[in-house]
Amino acid sequence: MAEFKPYISVEQKLRDFSFRAICTGIIFGIVFGSANAYLGLRVGLTISTAIPLAIVAVAIFKLLSPVLGPSNVLEQNIAATTGSASSSLASGIIFTIPALFIWGFNPPLLQIGTLALLGGVLGVLFMIPLRRFLIVKEHGSLPYPEGTAAAQVLIAADVGGARANNVFLGLGVGALYKFFTGFVKLWPESLHVRLPVLKKAELGLEAGPALLGVGYILGYRISAIMVAGGLLSWIGIIPIISYFGEGLGNPLAPANELLFNMTPYDIWSSYIKYIGAGAVACAGIITVFKSIPTMYKSLKIGIQGIRRKSNAEFIRPVRTDHDVSIHVVLIGVMLVMLGVVITPHVLGIGSSLMIRIVGALCIAVFAFMFVTVSSRIVGLVGVSSNPTSGMTIVTLLGTSLVFAALGWTDDFGKAAALTVGTVVCIASSIAGDISQDLKAGYIIGATPQKQQTAELIGVMTSAFGIAAAVWLLGRVYEFGSADLAAPQATLMKTVIEGVLHGNLQWSLVLSGVALALTAELLGVPSLPFAVGIYLPLATMTPVFMGGVIRHFVEKSSRSSEERESRKERGILLGSGLIAGEGIIGVLVAAYAFFSGKPEGLDIKWPGIGGEIISLLIFVLLGVFLISRSCGKRL
C-alpha cells in the first residue's frame, strides 16, 4: 500500500496550538455539550459534534480574521478538537448520574464534575498509546467516518462559511421553536391520539426540532427500526396487557390499582419500561460480545505497542507522529486511580476505603478494555452508533457482582457501583470521540501531541460546565419524569438494584431479552429496536419522520454528487436544530431554577385546537428541513 501523504506535509510549520483556538473550542464545546446533555436526558440519544464543530471553527476564524488575523487548517482543527471533548462528557454523565438523583442522593456539583474530569482524562490517556495502531496502521480498514468528514470540511475551508450557514440557521430555528413552546407556551409540545378497537392503544408525537434532527442524522433504516419497537409496545403489548388484565390489579402500581383505571402511560411505566430495560440490556451485551474479537486484538496490539515503546531507544519522532509521552500516560493513569482512592466524595460520601480501592481497580480494568473497544467500533460505524450503554451495563453488572460477593449491597454500595460505571462510561465515550479527532488530524497533517493536549484541556475546562448543566436540569425537573425521562440512567439504576437486591421483575425483563434476541436472529440491529421498545412512542415518532425526510431528500437526487451535497446540508441543519433546542432547554431550566417554572401564555386552545396547531407547525418545520436540504430557500 502506498505511503499516506497528509494534506499539510511534515516539513510545513504552521501555527496550530494557539490561545484563540483553545478558547474558541472551550466556548463552543460547552454550548454543544450542554445541548447534547439535554437531548440525551430527554430521549437517551446523543450525537457526534465533530463535523458541526469543524464547520463552526472554520466560520468563526474566517469571521474574525479582520480582527485576529488569518488562521489555517491546523489551528481550526485544534479548536474543533478542544470543543468535541464536551459531547463525550455529556454522554457519560447523563447515562448514569441521574440515577443518583432518582435514588435521592442528590450528588453535589463537585462530585459530578470530578467524575466527569476523571473519566475524561482517563479516556484520553488510555487512547494515546493506541493511536499508531488504530489510526495509522489501520488507516485503510478503519474509516472513522466523522473524523474523515471533519477533515474534509477543514480542507475545504474556502467554502466553510457557506456550509456553516446551515448549522447556525438550524440553531436559530431550533432555539426559536423551543422558546415558543417551552417558555412562551404558545402551543403544546406533544399530541396524543387514542386508537379505536385496540384497548388503550395510543399514538403520540413530540413535535420538536431536536428529535426531527436526530432522525435525519440517524437515517431512515435506524429510525424505522426504533419506531417499530415503539409501535410494538404502544399498539401491541399495551393493548394485550389491557385486554387480558382488564379486571385484574396491578401489583407494580400503588395500592394494587386496577389496570382498567390505568392510562397507557401508567401501563408503559409499570410494565413496558421493564420489558424495554431487558431488551436494551440484552442488546447492549450482544453488541459487546460481538466486539470480543476486536477487543482481544486491540488489547493485544495496545500492550505490544507499549512494550515496544518502553524498550525502544529514544528517537524524536517526526512532527506528525509525535504523541504525548508514555511516561506521562502512566503517571496520569496512576494519579487518576489515586484520586479515586483518597478522595471520599468521588464514589459517594460514606464509601469506605476498601470500596474505593476495589472501585479503582474495576475502573482501571473496565476502562482500558472498553476504551480499545470503543475506538475500534467508532472506526467502523461512527460515534453515534457507539454502544456506550452496553459497555456501561457490562461494567455495572461486573462491579455489582463483585460488590454483592463482598456484601456491599447497601445504598453506599449502589452509589459506588454507579459512579464506577460513570467513570468507565465517560472514558469509553471520550475514547471514541478523540479517535475521530485524531483521524481528522492524521488526514490533514496535525501534530498528535498537540491534539491530545487540546483534548485534555477540553476535558478539564468543560467537565464542570457540562456537570453544571446536568445538575441544573436535575434541580428544576424530576429525572425519570415525563419532562426529563433520563432513560439510560433509569436503566442503569434498574440493573444495579436488580443485582444487589434481587428485586428485579425478571419475568418482564426476560420478555424483553427474548424480543432483543428475536430481532438479532432476524438480522435486525437489536439495540435501536430495544431503545424503541424502552422509550415512549411519542419520542420515536419525530425521529422516524426525520429519517423519512432524509430518505426522500436523498432518493430524489439526480446524481451522486447532489445526493452527498443534500446529505451534508441536512445533517448540518439537523445538528443545528438539536443544538438550538438543547441550548434553550438549558436556559429555560436556568430561568426556572432562579425564578420558578415559566408560566408563559399557556393558551387554552378549544378541543384539540392546540394539538392541530402543534402538528401544523411541526409539518412546516419538516418542509423547511426538506427545502434547505435540497438547497432551496423558502
Per the model's pLDDT, the better-predicted residue between 125 and 387 turns out to be 125
Q: Which residues make beta-bridge pairs with 205?
A: 191
552-598 pLDDT, tens digit each: 999 988 888 888 888 878 887 887 787 777 778 767 766 765 666 66
- Check: CB of residue 116 under 8 Å from CB of residue 21: no
Helix pair 209-218, 220-232: axis angle to 10 deg? 120
Lowest mean pLDDT among 147-161, 208-222, 299-313, 537-551: 299-313
Task: Write b or e for each residue in 203-226: b if 16 or more Cβ atoms lie within 10 A of its Cβ, otherwise e.
Answer: bbbbbbbbbbbbbbbbbbebbbbb
Q: Which residues make beta-bridge pairs with 203?
A: 193
pLDDT at 313 over 50: no
**What percent of the chain has a predicted confidence (pLDDT) above 90?**
11
- What CA–CA distances, in Å, run from 237 to 193, 268, 513? 17, 9, 15
Model pLDDT, residue 622: 92
Rounded to an integer, the average pLDDT of 134-145 is 74
Q: Rounded to whole angstroms, how far apart are CA atoms 147 and 326?
A: 24
- What dihedral angle (degrees, nearest 10) is formed by the CA atoms of 587, 593, 596, 601? 10
pLDDT at 607 over 80: no
Q: What is the CA radius of gyration of the chain?
A: 24
Lowest mean pLDDT among 20-34, 152-166, 391-405, 610-624: 152-166
Highest mean pLDDT among 133-147, 202-216, 451-465, 562-576: 451-465
Model pLDDT, residue 224: 92
Model pLDDT, residue 1: 47
Highest mean pLDDT among 149-158, 239-248, 279-288: 239-248
- Going by pLDDT thresholds of 50, 70 and 90, the confidence category of residue 185 is confident
- What dihedral angle (degrees, nearest 10) is formed by the CA atoms of 539, 540, 546, 548? -150
Rounded to an integer, the average pLDDT of 507-532 is 88
- Check: CB of residue 399 under 8 Å from CB of residue 362: yes
Q: Rounded to whole angstroms, how far apart are CA atoms 534 and 275?
A: 7
What is the average pLDDT value for the chain, to the nearest integer?
A: 80
Model pLDDT, residue 228: 94
Rounded to an integer, the average pLDDT of 613-634 is 86
Give the DSSP H/E element, type plus range, for residue 194: strand 190-194
- What dihedral angle (degrees, nearest 10) is formed by the CA atoms of 383, 385, 386, 387? 160
Model pLDDT, residue 314: 46
430-444 pLDDT, tens digit each: 888 888 888 888 888
Task: Write b or e for each residue in 334-357: b if 16 or more Cβ atoms lie within 10 A of its Cβ, otherwise e.
Answer: eebbebbbeeeebbbeebeeebbe
Q: Where are the alpha helices (DSSP H) in 477-559?
A: 487-501, 506-521, 526-534, 537-555
Residue given cell 467524575 in the structure block = 115
Model pLDDT, residue 624: 92
Contacts of 95 (CB under 8 A, 6+ apart): 40, 388, 389, 392, 422, 425, 488, 489, 492
Model pLDDT, residue 317: 67
- Going by pLDDT thresholds of 50, 70 and 90, the confidence category of residue 251 is low
356-370 pLDDT, tens digit each: 888 889 998 888 877
Residue given cell 489551528 in the structure block = 75
Lowest mean pLDDT among 220-229, 394-403, 595-604: 595-604
Per the model's pLDDT, the better-predicted residue between 448 and 505 turns out to be 448
Task: Dig out the grid coordinates for 484 from the structure.
Answer: 426529563
- Going by pLDDT thresholds of 50, 70 and 90, the confidence category of residue 158 is very low
pLDDT at 623 over 90: yes
- Check: CB of residue 466 under 8 Å from CB of residue 93: yes
- What CA–CA distances, in Å, run from 401 to 283, 295, 498? 20, 22, 11
pLDDT at 137 over 90: no
- Check: CB of residue 213 under 8 Å from CB of residue 574: yes
pLDDT at 159 over 70: no
Rounded to an integer, the average pLDDT of 122-134 is 84
Per the model's pLDDT, the better-predicted residue between 571 and 301 turns out to be 571
Model pLDDT, residue 583: 72
Model pLDDT, residue 392: 79
- Check: CB of residue 448 under 8 Å from CB of residue 321: yes
Model pLDDT, residue 386: 64
55-107 pLDDT, tens digit each: 778 888 888 888 878 888 888 889 988 888 776 788 778 888 888 888 888 88
Give the DSSP H/E element, type plus range, for residue 566: helix 560-595
528-537 pLDDT, tens digit each: 888 788 778 8
Exposed / middle / buried, residue 74 (Cβ in 10 Å: 0-12, 13-18, 19+): buried
DSSP letters, 424-485, are: HHHHHHHHHHHHHHHHHHHHHT--HHHHHHHHHHHHHHHHHHHHHHHHHHHHHS-BTSSSB-
